[in-house]
Amino acid sequence: MSKKESITTRKADPCAGSCPVGRAAQILDGRWTTRIVRDLLPGRRRYSELLRSLAGISPKVLSARLHFLEEEGVVSKTTYPEVPPRTEYELTARGYRLQPVIAAMAAFGQSLED
């Protein structure tokens, strides 16, 4: 989808801001977001650890998704003034409220293999 098309669609979508499922879908949009949240559920992770555990994600996409999740208040970032600087990410209270969504998705995904 082109950027222009995406913006046009968002404008034309009265549900986007108001319906709860649409709001959750906006936050979980993309093929990586749920996996980033899943990998943060056990606790805080360094950027490099996420890059490793999310095999196949590009550094650019991981940074963009983490930044988006920070803006949405789902993830918080801490940078330690070390050399080299260490950056860690963890779920906020809001982020942990996604746990039932991830659990339901895991159960559904599991059922596909039965």
Q: How far is the CB of 86 from its own copies (least distance, A)?
A: 26
Considering the complex, what minimum distance in angstroms separates the CB of residue 81 from its own copies?
33
Q: How far is the CB of 51 from its own copies (least distance, A)?
A: 13
Question: Judged by CB, which is closer to its own copies: 43, or 81?
Answer: 43
DSSP string, the chain: --HHHHHHHHHH-TTTTT-HHHHHHHHT-SSSHHHHHHHHTTS-EEHHHHHHHSTT--HHHHHHHHHHHHHTTSEEEEEE--SS-EEEEEE-HHHHTTHHHHHHHHHHHHHHH-
Cβ proximity to its own copies: between 22 and 79 the closer is: 22
